[in-house]
Amino acid sequence: MDTILDPNRPAAGGGAPADAIRDGDQSTFMQDVIEASQQTPILVDFWATWCGPCKQLTPTLEKVVRATGGRVKLVKIDIDKNQALVRQLAQMGLPLQSVPTVVAFWRGQIADLFQGALPESEVKKFAEALLKLAGGQTPAADLLGEAKAAVEAGDHAEALQLFGQLVQAEPENPEAFAGVARALMALDEEDQAQAVLAQVPAKIANHAEIASVRAALELAVQGREASAKLGEIERRVAADPDDHAARIELAVALNAAGDKDGAAEALMAAIRRDRDWNDQAARKQLLKFLESWGFADPASVAARRKLSTLLFS
């Protein structure tokens, strides 16, 4: 599991370009910052060798910038070696009395700044706000899009890597955790998927995405058991149409085989014949399917419509 959520894993698309982080000085400031910011948002890290907080902040800045994959660049300037530049910037109203000071440039202008060694989460927010100002998409949004595309393509190993990176970028993103768990399930690593769900922060533990994966995991276990005796279950249903326990097992087996519509119809048949059987067990099983499939899944939409018609007719 540690390899999946490795914070040192490169960002999607091969990571940041080689020139995303560089040391600057007063002779290159115009080119590296003012001119470069016409195309790409630039963070300038004003630091000093004697500054303890600078030593804490600079590695964080570098990590955040690398995670943007080149959408934001970082220029580091030692204020002691570039005092003429510091004086010039001070005359322009840029406060550099203390370090670290981080200044965001966009289109040749100062967009924002902060002073002091902020925690990584705050630095991420600062960089993302700069990206939004520049009209760019955040790296997390890109990762999510790439991960979903990998799922659509059936490349669950790639989806696992991308969702894992997204968990690192946004540790309270329920779609990221759910994506990791679903990818592991698709790769027949259900124990790993359970371990991932055990790591879900309490803040998002009851989110619909997380609940959906939990339901899917439970159904996967039931599905294997039912699939192993599918022939027997089908014979029971054929012999006794009112064997609702067998219909529910049939639905579970069909769902495990990927036949969502067939699974829903098996339960609908049981509900039509006796909706109150065993404390409405067929309806409750169908709701569990819908939860695991997700609200927007076409099979969920169709099944909800049929269930509504059946219950309120």
pLDDT tens-digit readout, 274-302:
999 999 999 999 999 998 998 778 999 89
Buried b (16+ CB within 10 A) or exposed e, 210-235: bebbbbbbebbebbeebbeeeeebee
- Residues of the chain short of pLDDT 50, as ranges, are 1-14
CATH class for the domain made up of 225-312 = mainly alpha
pLDDT at 29: 94
Give me the residue label for tokens 């329920």.
Answer: 174
* Spatial separation of the C-alpha atoms in residues 27 and 221, rounded to whole Å: 65
Q: Spell out the long-range contacts of 158-161 with Cβ–Cβ below 8 A and sequence spacing 24 or more.
A: 159/183, 159/186, 160/4, 160/184, 160/187, 161/4, 161/9
pLDDT at 302: 92
pLDDT at 137: 61
- CATH for 18-135, among 2.20.28.120, 3.40.50.2300, 3.40.30.10, 3.20.20.10? 3.40.30.10
With respect to CATH, is domain 140-205 assigned 1.10.8? no
Q: Which residues are catalytic?
A: 51, 54
77-111 pLDDT, tens digit per residue, is: 999 999 999 998 887 778 788 899 999 999 888 88
pLDDT at 12: 40
Tell which residue, 47, 49, 51, has the closest CA to residue 61.
47
* Spatial separation of the C-alpha atoms in residues 187 and 110, rounded to whole Å: 48
**Residues 185 and 224 sit within 8 Å (Cβ to Cβ):** no
Pairing of strands 73-78, 109-115: unpaired
